[in-house]
Amino acid sequence: MVPVMPPLPLFDPIRFLTEIGYTLIMVLMCLLVFLKTKEVYELTKHRGIYYFRSTFLFFGLAYLFRLLFDFIQVFGPVFDLYVHRSVIGPLSMLFTGYFSTIALLCLIYSTVWKKFSGKEFIITANLIALVIAFAAVVSPVVFIITQVFLLVIAIVLSCFLRKKSRFPKIFVLYFLLFLFWALSIILVLPKRVLPFELRVIMEIISVALFAVLYYRVAKWTK
């Protein structure tokens, strides 16, 4: 008897390609910012810059895992890798929640790195990120609330400390990151919550914000 391959999950090709295209752009741009700040860090060995650029590395990983699980969900059956949607969703949220939280904690730590040792930060950040990631699996609302809370802390700290910073222009970068990630949090909501047209508009705005952010980083690192 010839084995029957499980049918591919039903999906809208246009929606899928739009989502994949957006995610790939975000992964690429995060990588570009991470690489663009490499030289200035190597010249200064400034720990604040190190954790600032690490923010983009973890943001990129968050998007990369979203992309990976989207591919598994759609093309898994073709390669005899069938994972039920009820598993894909929580796994995607788990990895997205973890890396997104680590990214925001790195952003916060880049402004207060003189107050705590790197070892203390790494241990604390991973514990917080794991707790938030597992909580996000249970309730995406928890993920959204915690991300907004961390974003607010990051922007407040950058406002409070920008006059004392050796790199005052970083405040603008923080503000752009705030706007960008606020949109990204909304886009994490289930596809049925946001109309497709609204998602596309928000994705375009998100890409535009990140492009401006990259331009500011490029100017800052000259």
Beta strand spans in 114-161 (E):
none
pLDDT at site 79: 55
Residue 117: phi, psi to the nearest 5? Answer: -75, 155
pLDDT 10s digits, 98-135: 998 999 899 888 888 877 777 788 899 999 999 999 99
pTM: 0.80
Number of other residues whose CB lies within 10 A of the CB of residue 93: 23
Q: Domain extents for the chain?
A: 13-75+82-220
DSSP state of 100: H
pLDDT at site 8: 43
Q: Which residues of the chain have pLDDT under 70?
A: 1-12, 75-86, 158-159, 161-171, 188-193, 222
The Cα 150–Cα 188 span in angstroms is 16
pLDDT at site 83: 60
pLDDT at site 98: 93
| Residue-wise burial string across 14-37, b where 16 or more C-beta atoms lie within 10 A, e elsewhere | eeeeebeebbebbbebbebbbebb
CATH number of 13-75+82-220: 1.20.1070.10
